[in-house]
Amino acid sequence: LFGGGRFGTAAVWRTVAVVRLFAFALPAYCAVHLFVRAHYAARRGWTVVFCAASALALNILASLCLVWRFGERGIALGTVVSAWVNAALLFLRLSETERGEVVSGLVGGWRRFLGAAAAVALALLCAGDGWSGLARTVAAGLAGYIAFTGREILMEIKRNTSKADKKEQIESGVAL
């Protein structure tokens, strides 16, 4: 694919390394898309602008700092870091009710994601030579998703249990 013209083998492998790093930002970009919609629905457009500007400043700063040490991979790393920070800022600026709705929406699609990631990892493992590294990357992403989703599910259960306990105490007349 990238081997045509003056693009040699070394450049191909450098490109592969950069694309692999950029792949770690994809879940954050997907989350940002969802969080931005939630903020606009709540008529908080300035929150989106503030978070995006903060992420852009971080991207520039991180890329400039990392490019000297890691070359073109440093730019990709800076982008990954800023994408996740943007997603975190947008998520944290949602109200508790909105967070619960967003998390339930994210968790709702976990089966499709897990199935697709497992199918891709299996296909890459079966493909043989040269693809096993990518299969490991997909498997690592899958493991990260499982860990994140599991944590969010446990936190949601804990929040709902706490709310139910408070409601029960109020209904039974026990002072808080």
**From first to last of its 176 residues, what are the pLDDT tens digits of the chain?**
555 666 777 877 888 888 888 888 888 888 888 889 888 888 889 999 999 999 999 999 999 999 999 999 999 999 999 999 999 999 888 876 777 776 666 656 656 666 666 676 666 666 655 666 666 777 777 777 777 766 776 777 677 666 666 666 666 665 54
Range of the domain at 132: 95-176
52 and 118 fall within a common domain: no
**Number of other CB atoms surrounding residue 147 within 10 Å:** 10
105 Cβ contact list (under 8 Å, min separation 6) = 34
Closest CA to 66 of 49, 56, 81: 81
Q: Is the pTM of this model over 0.95?
A: no
Q: Taking a C-beta distance cutoff of 8 angstroms, is the pair 74, 68 a contact?
A: yes
Domain-terminating residue out of 76, 94, 112: 94
68 and 103 fall within a common domain: no
Q: Taking a C-beta distance cutoff of 8 angstroms, is the pair 91, 35 a contact?
A: yes
Spatial separation of the C-alpha atoms in residues 143 and 116, rounded to whole Å: 13
88 and 103 fall within a common domain: no
Q: Taking a C-beta distance cutoff of 8 angstroms, is the pair 74, 66 a contact?
A: yes
Integer CA distances (angstroms), 93 to 19, 55, 104, in order: 30, 14, 17
77 and 124 fall within a common domain: no
24 and 36 fall within a common domain: yes
Amino acid at 137: T
Interior angle at CA 8, CA 138 and CA 26, nearest 5: 25
Spatial separation of the C-alpha atoms in residues 47 and 52, rounded to whole Å: 8
Q: Taking a C-beta distance cutoff of 8 angstroms, is the pair 103, 75 a contact?
A: no
Per-residue tokens: 156 = 């949601």
Q: Taking a C-beta distance cutoff of 8 angstroms, is the pair 135, 125 a contact?
A: yes
119 and 141 fall within a common domain: yes
Q: Name the domain count of the chain.
A: 2
57 and 104 fall within a common domain: no
2 and 83 fall within a common domain: yes
Domain-terminating residue out of 68, 94, 120: 94
84 and 118 fall within a common domain: no
88 and 104 fall within a common domain: no
Domain-terminating residue out of 94, 120, 145: 94
68 and 118 fall within a common domain: no
